[in-house]
């Protein structure tokens, strides 16, 4: 569904209010309506917004709050900004970034890890890994808020990728993960995009995640983004051989390519 949200203008700031009782990690919860007072956002001018970094896989954002629960699952709520949204360090706190409406040529979808009255805390795809930001949802700008029932789990110890839908296991595959010198980063992240390289070499599809290699600050000219993709040589599956990416069999890649962006990926 679409819901109105305010970007940078706290017009209703004066009217609003205090005391947010945030829901716990693991997903949004409906609070008691009588206690839902909305903290207004800090006013951000267009000039100030223009100086904020874009929350993309290419950027580094300073002052962003860390993921409050790095291995927890969420309720499945995901949001897509229909227009660029200011991202704040917290309700009523400083702006830290701008979440663009598109990432890598496709609509931006980010998972919500916590909600409060008028605010959503979302995972961000930027460096450093495991950062979040807060989006004001009670104003005038627009967000598309949806739900995904999919969950991907990567078990580094067993080299297993498991895909769930509504808690039901859809499939499990043995995959290749990062080599000891370039390990696959752990924690929860999300499906950032679905790319079809014009001239594919090792995989027809690439699914970048909202996380990066801790060992490689750049890779092949990119920002060291970790992704899920196929691999032509099946002998790698079950091995720790990649530069951090998760190499999966073609059947797994096909399924992953149908899962909504923003869906959670928990790597442990």
Partner 1 sequence: MTALKITKRAKIAGLASMALAVTSLTVVFASHSALASTSPHGYKPPTTAPATSTTTGTTTTTPAPTCTCQETPTPTPTTVAPTTVPPTTPAPTSAAPAPVAVTGNLPVTG
Strands 2-5 and 141-147, how do they pair? antiparallel
64, 210 Cβ separation under 8 angstroms: no
Nearest distance in Å: CB 4, partner 1: 8
C-alpha to C-alpha distances, 192 to 17, 264, 265, nearest whole angstrom: 34, 10, 10
Residue 121 burial by CB count (10 A; 0-12/13-18/19+): exposed, middle or buried? Answer: buried
253 binds partner 1 per the rule CB under 8 A: no
Nearest distance in Å: CB 24, partner 1: 13
267 binds partner 1 per the rule CB under 8 A: no
Nearest distance in Å: CB 25, partner 1: 14
Nearer to partner 1, 49 or 214 (CB): 214
202 binds partner 1 per the rule CB under 8 A: yes
Give the whole-angstrom CA distance, residue 262 versus residue 194.
11
56 binds partner 1 per the rule CB under 8 A: no
- When binding is defined by CB under 8 A, the residue of 133, 244, 248, 252 that contacts partner 1 is 244
Nearer to partner 1, 15 or 47 (CB): 15
- When binding is defined by CB under 8 A, the residue of 208, 237, 248, 266 that contacts partner 1 is 208
161 binds partner 1 per the rule CB under 8 A: no
End-to-end Cα spacing for the chain: 32
Helix (H, G, I), strand (E, B) or coil at 241: strand
The site map against partner 1 for 69-108 (x = CB under 8 A) is: --------xx-------------------------xxx--
C-alpha to C-alpha distances, 10 to 31, 73, 95, 141, nearest whole angstrom: 23, 32, 13, 11
Count of residues in the chain? 268
Give the whole-angstrom CA distance, residue 88 versus residue 107.
20
- List residues binding partner 1 (CB under 8 A): 1, 3, 15-18, 23, 28-31, 33-34, 36-38, 57, 77-78, 104-106, 109, 115-118, 138, 145-149, 178, 182, 191, 193-198, 202, 205-206, 208, 213, 216, 219-222, 224-227, 229, 242-245, 247, 257-263
């Amino acid at each position: 569904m679409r819901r109105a949200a305010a970007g940078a203008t706290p017009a209703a700031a004066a009217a609003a209010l205090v005391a947010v009782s945030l829901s716990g990690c693991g997903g949004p919860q409906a609070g008691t309506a009588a206690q839902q007072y909305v903290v207004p956002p800090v006013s951000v001018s267009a000039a100030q917004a223009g100086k904020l970094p874009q929350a993309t896989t290419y950027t580094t954002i300073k002052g962003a709050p860390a993921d409050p629960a790095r291995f927890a699952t969420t309720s499945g709520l995901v949001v897509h900004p229909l227009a660029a949204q200011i991202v704040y360090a917290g309700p009523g706190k400083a702006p830290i970034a701008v979440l663009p409406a598109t990432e890598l040529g496709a609509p931006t979808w980010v998972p919500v890890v916590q909600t409060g009255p008028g605010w959503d805390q979302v995972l961000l795809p930027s460096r450093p890994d495991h950062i979040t930001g807060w989006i004001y949802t009670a104003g005038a700008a627009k967000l598309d808020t949806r739900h995904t029932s999919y969950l991907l789990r990567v078990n580094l110890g067993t080299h297993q990728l498991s895909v769930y839908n509504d808690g039901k296991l859809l499939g499990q595959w043995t995959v290749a993960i990062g080599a000891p010198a370039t390990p696959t980063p752990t924690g929860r992240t999300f499906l950032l995009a679905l790319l079809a390289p014009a001239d594919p070499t090792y995989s027809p599809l690439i699914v970048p995640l909202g996380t990066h290699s801790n060992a490689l600050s750049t890779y092949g000219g990119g920002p060291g983004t970790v992704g899920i993709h196929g691999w032509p040589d099946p002998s790698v599956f079950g091995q720790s051989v990649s530069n951090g990416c998760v190499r999966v069999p073609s059947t797994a890649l096909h399924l992953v390519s149908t899962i909504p962006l923003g869906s959670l990926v928990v790597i442990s």
